[in-house]
């Protein structure tokens, strides 16, 4: 029973903001041509602490 609960909790919390990767990819494409738009994409993330980790990948 404990294994089932732990696996469920793990799956629910793997990526609290699944669109973060897409937002950062969009920001990466925009950074040269439209830096303001890129910053707007980055600013729309709910979990800014994870930005540095995601950018390192």
Over residues 36-50, mean pLDDT: 73
Percent of the chain with pLDDT over 90: 2
Determine, yes or no, domain membership for 10.
no
Determine, yes or no, domain membership for 4.
no
Determine, yes or no, domain membership for 21.
yes
Range of the domain at 35: 17-56
Determine, yes or no, domain membership for 22.
yes
pLDDT at 8: 47
Is the pLDDT reported for residue 5 higher than 50?
Answer: no
Is the pLDDT reported for residue 10 higher than 60?
Answer: no
> What is the pTM (predicted TM-score) of this model?
0.49
Determine, yes or no, domain membership for 7.
no
Over residues 46-54, mean pLDDT: 55
pLDDT at 34: 87
Determine, yes or no, domain membership for 33.
yes
Domains in the chain: how many in total?
A: 1
**Spatial contact of 48 and 16, defined as CB atoms under 8 Å apart:** no
């Amino acid at each position: 029973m404990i294994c089932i609960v732990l696996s469920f909790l793990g799956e629910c919390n793997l990526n609290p903001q699944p669109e973060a990767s897409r937002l950062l990819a969009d920001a990466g494409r925009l950074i040269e041509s439209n830096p303001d738009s890129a910053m707007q994409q980055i600013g729309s993330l709910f979990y800014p602490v994870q930005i540095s980790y995601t950018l390192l990948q």
